[in-house]
Chain A
Amino acid sequence: MTSLLIFEHIQNAYHSLRSTKMRTLLTILGVAIGVASITTILSLGGGVTKLVSNQIDNLGGNIAVVRPGMVSKSLNDFTNPTTSGIFTTSTLTEEDFRDIQAVEGVEAAAPLMVLNGSVKSTKNGTKPANSVIVATTPSLEQIAKLPIRDGQFIDTVTDQNTSVIGSQLSVDLFGTDQSIGQTFTFRGQIFTVIGVLKHMNNPINYNNVDFDHTAIISLESGKGFNQGIVQIQQINVSAKSVDQLPHVIDTANKQLLANHQDEKDFDILSGEEIAKPTSQFFKAVTAVMTVIAAISLVVGGIGIMNIMLVGVAERTREIGLRKAVGASDINIVWQFLTESLIMSLLGGILGYISGYIIALMISTALPFDPIFSWEIAAIAMSIAVGVGTVFGLYPAIRAARKDPIESLRQYH
Chain B
Amino acid sequence: MTKKIPPVIELRGLTKRYGVGDAEHNALDEIDLTIEKGEFITIMGPSGCGKTTLLNILGLLDRSDDGEYLLDGKSVETLSNTRHARIRSQQIGIVFQSFNLINRLNVIENVALPLTYKGMFRTKRLIMASEILKSFHLSEREYYMPWQLSGGQMQRVAIARALVNNPSIILADEPTGNLDSKSSHIVMEELSDLHKRGNTIVMVTHNPNLTTYASRVIQMLDGKVASDTKVPPAKKETNKKKPLNIESSTPPVKDTPKKSAKNRKKKQAKK
Which residues of A come within 8 Å of B, CB atoms? Answer: 1, 4-5, 7-8, 15-16, 19, 317-318, 320-331, 404-405, 408, 411
Contact = CB atoms under 8 A, between A and B. Distances in A.
Interface in B64-109: 81-82, 85-86, 88-90, 94, 96, 98, 100, 102, 104-105
A320 B85 CA distance: 12
A36 B96 CA distance: 48
28 contacts: A4-B121, A5-B116, A5-B117, A317-B100, A318-B102, A320-B100, A321-B113, A323-B61, A323-B85, A324-B88, A324-B96, A325-B113, A325-B161, A326-B89, A326-B118, A326-B165, A327-B85, A327-B89, A328-B81, A328-B85, A328-B117, A329-B82, A330-B82, A331-B85, A405-B56, A408-B98, A408-B100, A411-B98
A327 B87 CA distance: 10
Contacts of B102: 318, 321
Given A328-B117, A331-B117, A405 B62 contact: yes
Contacts of A329: 81-82, 85
A327 B117 contact: yes
Contacts of B100: 317, 320-321, 324, 408
A4 B117 CA distance: 9
Contacts of A324: 59, 61, 88, 94, 96, 100
B267 interface: no
B81 A325 contact: no
Given A321-B96, A325-B89, A404-B61, 9 more contacts: A1-B119, A5-B117, A318-B102, A324-B96, A325-B165, A326-B89, A327-B89, A328-B82, A405-B62
A322 B97 CA distance: 16
Contacts of B114: 325-326
Nearest to B164: A325
Contacts of A7: 122
A362 B18 CA distance: 66
A326 B117 contact: yes
A321 B85 CA distance: 12
A7 B89 CA distance: 19
B88 A325 contact: yes
Contacts of A317: 100
A324 B90 CA distance: 11
Contact of A5 (B94, B98, B119, B165): B119
B85 A4 contact: no
A326 B88 contact: yes
A324 B104 CA distance: 18
B101 to A, nearest CB: 8
Nearest to A317: B100
A320 B56 CA distance: 12
9 A-B pairs closest in CB distance: A326-B89, A328-B85, A326-B117, A325-B114, A1-B119, A326-B88, A321-B100, A328-B82, A4-B119
Contacts of B81: 328-329
Contacts of A404: 61
Contacts of A321: 96, 100, 102, 113
B167 to A, nearest CB: 10
Given A324-B59, A324-B94, A404-B61, A15 B104 contact: yes
B119 A322 contact: no
Given A1-B119, A321-B102, A326 B86 contact: yes
A163 to B, nearest CB: 77
Contacts of B117: 5, 322, 325-328, 331
A2 to B, nearest CB: 8
A408 B96 contact: yes
A65 B171 CA distance: 85
Contacts of A1: 119
A7 B161 CA distance: 21
A15 B145 CA distance: 14
A3 to B, nearest CB: 9
Interface centre among B61, B96, B122 (most CB of A within 10 A): B61
A4 B100 CA distance: 25
Nearest to B171: A324
Central interface residue in B59, B114, B122, B165, by most chain A CB within 10 Å: B114
A318 B105 CA distance: 11
With a 10 A CB-CB cut-off, give which of A4, A7, A8, A15 has the most chain B CB atoms: A8
A42 B98 CA distance: 54
Contacts of A323: 61, 85, 88
Given A1-B119, A4-B121, A325 B94 contact: yes
Contacts of B165: 325-326
A355 to B, nearest CB: 34
Nearest to B52: A405
B204 to A, nearest CB: 14
Nearest to A332: B85
A110 to B, nearest CB: 73
Contact of B86 (A328, A405, A408): A328
A5 B115 CA distance: 11
A16 B62 CA distance: 28
